[in-house]
Amino acid sequence: MSKVLDLELKDICFSIPGSRSRGYDRHIFNRACFELEAGECVALLGTSGAGKTSLLRLIAGFDRPDSGEIFVGNNRVTHLAPEDRGVSMLFQAPALFPGKTIEQNALAARRAAKTSRDELNRTIAAVAGMVEKFGLDGDTKTLATDLSGGEYQRAAIIRTLANCSDSKVLLLDEPFKAALNYRIRWQLMEYLKRWQEQSRVTTLLVTHDFSEAAYLASKIVLIYDKKILFSTATELFQRAPNVTVAAIAGHINKWKLSEHQYRLMPLRVEEDKIRQAGAEWCVCRPSSVEVDPGGTTFSVLSKTFLGAHTRCELASVSRQDFRVVADVSSDLAANMKDRCGVTLRPDTVTFYDRDERRIDRLGS
């Protein structure tokens, strides 16, 4: 059965003209291709300046590609105005009408489109429900100018969700970036996840937070070095194709093997196998490091309490420049003194070659 696409980008090239400070054009995408299947939620990750917001602006019609085509549903929209594309977008810095209430802001687009009274009433009811769930004291009559930074962001999300029922694609540019405390942020994420699963509105979400991407999206699109990589949260976290991608997906321990004579003390892998495979780098997540509080081979340099777990910086007693960062349970960390033992299991580390590309198998 052929897949149904709500969004497709074909061979997109896009560059930003040179500025006075930068006397050359900045090329963002070079023949980039991109697909979103109907009803799915996809997260867009990448370092600052990689082109995440640029991609959203191209899809929404606020910027035009140098070449290539954009399709929303079956319609070619490359040269259409934003309002004619069937796309809704929440900007990174949204702007509400200052003299209007939360409800009036949410209804403004509906009224401008001369929406029926029944549809307006449905929107009013939806806004009231979201205001309650989003922790805005259930008051839809609050003026935008009376909202705090976090409340303003929540009101902007409400306006976007209340007006995208007729859209094929919803674009969200870092919707949880504003002043949101931990509890409110996760409430919003839980609501958005349920809303997307129920509404089946095809959604593309930009975030810098890997945990947000992993929680909300069925797929992850990573933009780096003018390339677009499709993957899943599990694949990126456990088997990243290169070291750059591994670092984008979260904190890593990274060791240059030649500096350690291709032998890492806590890692039980034969030196010859590492050399034969052409491995030059070894990468391991802090959460995969096994720590024995009764061991003596590593010094405990620091312990940072992070709630359920504690991040520990450790150094080899025999070679102080060999450092390891480990995430351990806070209960275990409480029992750690000045020394501990460290084990790196072969199945929790990934090897990369000189060009920092993943090696799938070590020598036999």
The full 3-state SS of the chain, as one line of letters, equals: CCCCEEEEEEEEEEEECCCCCCCCCEEEEEEEEEEEECCCEEEEEECCCCCHHHHHHHHHCCCCCCEEEEEECCEECCCCCHHHCCEEEECCCCCCCCCCEHHHHHHHHHHHCCCCHHHHHHHHHHHHHHHHHCCCCCCCCCEHHHCCHHHHHHHHHHHHHHCCCCCCEEEEECCCCCCCCHHHHHHHHHHHHHHHHHHCCEEEEECCCHHHHHHHCCEEEEEECCEEEEECHHHHHHCCCEHHHHHHCCCCEEEEHHHHCCCCCCECCCHHHHHHCCCCEEEECHHHCEEECCCCCEEEEEEEECCCEEEEEEEECCCCCCEEEEEEEHHHHHCCCCEEEEEECHHHEEEECCCCEEECCCCC
Asked whether the predicted pLDDT for residue 289 surpasses 60, the reply is yes
Report if residue 364 sits inside a domain: no
pLDDT mean over 148-174: 90
Q: Are 200 and 294 found together in one domain?
A: no
Q: Are 162 and 209 found together in one domain?
A: yes
Q: Are 41 and 91 found together in one domain?
A: yes
Q: Are 59 and 185 found together in one domain?
A: yes
Most confident of 127-136, 178-187, 205-214: 205-214
- Bigger pLDDT: 31 vs 172: 172
Q: Among 215, 243, 271, where does a domain finish?
A: 243
Number of domains in the chain: 2
The percentage of residues in the chain with a pLDDT greater than 90, rounded to a whole number, is 58
Q: Are 219 and 120 found together in one domain?
A: yes
Band (pLDDT 50/70/90 cuts) for residue 25 is: low
Asked whether the predicted pLDDT for residue 20 surpasses 70, the reply is no
Q: What is the pTM of this model?
A: 0.86
Give the per-residue pLDDT at 218. Answer: 92
Give the per-residue pLDDT at 73. Answer: 92
**Domain span holding position 266:** 251-359
Q: Are 237 and 274 found together in one domain?
A: no
Report if residue 220 sits inside a domain: yes
pLDDT mean over 230-255: 92
How high does pLDDT run on average in the chain? 89
pLDDT mean over 170-190: 85
Band (pLDDT 50/70/90 cuts) for residue 176 is: confident
pLDDT mean over 24-50: 86
Q: Are 238 and 294 found together in one domain?
A: no
- Bigger pLDDT: 21 vs 164: 164
Give the per-residue pLDDT at 132. Answer: 84
- Bigger pLDDT: 270 vs 355: 355
Least confident of 7-11, 114-118, 262-266, 328-332: 262-266
Give the per-residue pLDDT at 23. Answer: 46
Q: Are 33 and 127 found together in one domain?
A: yes
The percentage of residues in the chain with a pLDDT greater than 70, rounded to a whole number, is 95
pLDDT mean over 303-310: 93
Asked whether the predicted pLDDT for residue 1 surpasses 70, the reply is no
- Bigger pLDDT: 138 vs 324: 324
Q: Are 305 and 323 found together in one domain?
A: yes
Report if residue 305 sits inside a domain: yes
Q: Are 239 and 256 found together in one domain?
A: no
CATH code: domain of residue 219: 3.40.50.300
pLDDT mean over 53-77: 94
